[in-house]
Amino acid sequence: MLRVGLTGGIGAGKSTVAARLAEHGAVLIDADKIAREVVEPGTEGLARLVEAFGEDIRTPEGALDRPALATKAFADEASRRRLNGILHPLIGARTAELMAAVAPDAIVVHDVPLLVEGGMGAMYHLVLVVDAPVETRVQRLVELRGMPEADARARIAAQADEAARRATADVWLDNGGAPDIVLAQLDRLWADRLVPFEANIRLRRPRSPMPPDVVPYDQTWPAQAERALARIRLAVGDKALRVDHIGSTSVPGLPAKDVLDLQVTVSTLDVADEFADALSDAGFLRAGGDWWDESQDDANGPWYKRYHFGADPGRRINLHVRSLETPAWRLALLFAAWLRENPAERDAYAEVKRKLAAAHAADASSGPYSEDKQPWVNAAFRRAEEWAAATGWTP
């Protein structure tokens, strides 16, 4: 199952996106609909609300009087917490029930208006955010919903701002223009990313090789890495000692292959094996075979690790799971920190990468490129260790 979170500000046109994805075969789970279902007449939810807030929150017909509830539930913070304490577990249980009922090969789209505000992004394999200019949203709310303009602007201002939504979004859908534009984007997204993403996870498909294309530093790499790290943290829980963004994409200004290198540090590789399936289910597939880093101390042989890779065809990720049993975890953190603090070394590394990428441009994979780069990296490790000793750097 592929779990896709769908959100967007009021008036952005989220329903248009949800409907198109449903046409393609997505299973839609609507958080607002569930919130209404759990307080319908005769439900446990309504009974508990009446017990907490009084009989006068129910209409003469026995339904929930939402304005009456709002008057009481939002009167103070304690009342708000009481309301959430009743509703959130019921909504969560019903959502889990619906998720469990879908087919193993389903693409589930969970429509959650407050996904960003609730910090829920890590729960999904991918988050889609629908947006439109504020004035367009105001116009839609006034003309299509009959909302007073002042109320429309107040509702928009009360929600997460664009910066928070962009930080959460794996896919940004601009729905401010003609509907055909966003619909065409959704058609491509479904065929090129969502369908293969689901199949990659379910079938544990190996990843295709990547040629050694080096591109300029992308300012969005850290935010992309943080979204992936949040999903990894949720999957591994307290079994990880730390989870980090490493490698060239973690060094501002350094050209790199468009692949995020991430690292999970554990006490032993046996611990890494315990959460391997959880990581794979979260979209970070474990690669078969033995994996190791080249030892900087030949007397101790190779530094073994576990290796996972991202199943999302729209975002390549290398995930290295390293243990305290070897120095490799520390060296990965040191190398990136050293490059960030030493621009001359960063620029020298960039030049090496450009030259080798050009020399291996015809290669189908980046293997030969990485092999030719390793001697420079090994020498750089020694310089980095000298810097760490001189500065007192520690992970």
Question: Which residue ranges make up the annotated binding site for ATP?
Answer: 11-16
The two structure tokens encoding residue 178? 């003609």
- The b-or-e profile of 184-212 (16+ CB within 10 A means b, else e) is ebbeebbeebbbbbbebbeeeeeeeeeeb
Taking phi over 0 as left and psi of -120 to 50 as alpha, with beta for the rest, 42 belongs to left
Contact 14, 6 (CB under 8 A): yes
Residues contacting residue 111 through CB under 8 Å, at least 6 positions apart: 6, 7, 14, 18, 28, 29, 30, 31, 32
Contact 69, 49 (CB under 8 A): yes
Sign of CA dihedral 282, 3, 167, 154: negative
Contact 263, 332 (CB under 8 A): yes
Measured CA to CA, the distance from residue 342 to residue 327 in angstroms comes to: 22
Burial of 298 (0-12, 13-18, 19+ CB in 10 A): exposed
3-state class (DSSP) for residue 244: strand
The two structure tokens encoding residue 125? 């394999």
Instruction: Please identify which residue in the block is written with the tokens 């994805």.
Output: 21
Which residues sit in the known binding site?
A: 11-16
